Amino acid sequence: MFTGLVEEIGTVASLERQGDAIRLGIAAPKILDDAALGDSIAINGVCLTVAERTADVFIADVMQESLNRSALGELRVGSQVNVERALLPTTRLGGHIMQGHVDGTAKLISRTASENWEVLRFELPAGLARYVVEKGSIAVSGTSLTVSNIGADWFEVSLIPTTLRDTIFGQLEVGAAVNLEVDVLAKYVEKMFGPNASGANGKG
């Protein structure tokens, strides 16, 4: 699991296509201080496994399923990515619980700057809209963010300078694709109390 608090902005150091998969090399020296083979590391919100590593770079295999469901396939050598190590039992839960399983992708529609923050508007896929609420949490490319405003097919987040500096959002261009993971608690609530829930309509 992850918290959505980005630890480092990494850089794609290598990208090798292997048929229906890619081998992704990520330069992220800070988080590699204590990383071991087999560890889970989130790259733009996608949980990947360390297959190889050097002092500054780790290699992860990304299968077709992950490429289909995420925007990792759009990465190029030199692309910047959000990096976070898996949650430890002693870690403060500063963001919200995230699994590293992407629910969909969206594009950045607009950026509106003000004196002390910047508002980013993203597309909201129809299949995910019911899980997104104003003031609720959403993971955007692995960053735990609070929804500040929402429309029929879009949502907004308001980012302070620290978030813009410490994540890829400071340089994210309009039209760029991001990964979305909705709050897993919303999914459980729907499963337990939705129209298809066990026991609904008086049936046990």
Query: Is the same domain home to 120 and 183?
Result: yes
Same domain? For 76 and 115 the reply is no
Looking at the fold, whether 52 and 125 belong to one and the same domain comes out as no
Within-domain flag for 99? no
| Position 3 confidence tier, pLDDT thresholds 50, 70, 90 | confident
Query: For position 51, what pLDDT does the model report?
Result: 96
CATH of the domain at 110: 2.40.30.20
- Same-domain status, 184 and 119: yes
| Count of C-beta atoms within a 10 Å radius of residue 40 | 17
Within this chain, do residues 52 and 128 fall inside the same structural domain, yes or no?
Answer: no
Task: Please check whether residues 23 and 76 belong to one and the same domain.
Answer: yes
- What is the per-residue burial (b if ≥16 Cβ within 10 Å, else e) of 162-183? ebbebbbbeebeeebbbbbbbb
Q: Print the domain residue range for 65.
A: 8-85
Confidence (pLDDT) at 199:
57
Distance CA(74)–CA(127), nearest Å, equals 22
- The residue ranking higher by pLDDT, 4 or 103, is 103
- Which one of 27, 52, 85 terminates a domain? 85
Are 73 and 127 part of one and the same domain?
Answer: no
Which DSSP category does 70 fall into? Answer: S
Q: Which pLDDT tens digit goes with each residue over 134-172?
A: 999 999 999 999 999 999 999 999 999 999 999 999 999
CB neighbour class for 124 (10 Å; exposed up to 12, middle 13-18, buried from 19): buried
Per-residue model confidence as pLDDT tens digits over 93-112: 666 778 788 999 999 999 99
Give the domain-ending residue among 57, 85, 113.
85
Residue 133, in any domain of the structure: yes
Predicted pLDDT at 204: 45
Q: Say if 120 falls within a structural domain.
A: yes
Structural domains counted in the chain: 2
In a domain, 167, yes or no: yes
**C-beta atoms surrounding 15 within 10 Å:** 18
| Same domain? 81 vs 112 | no
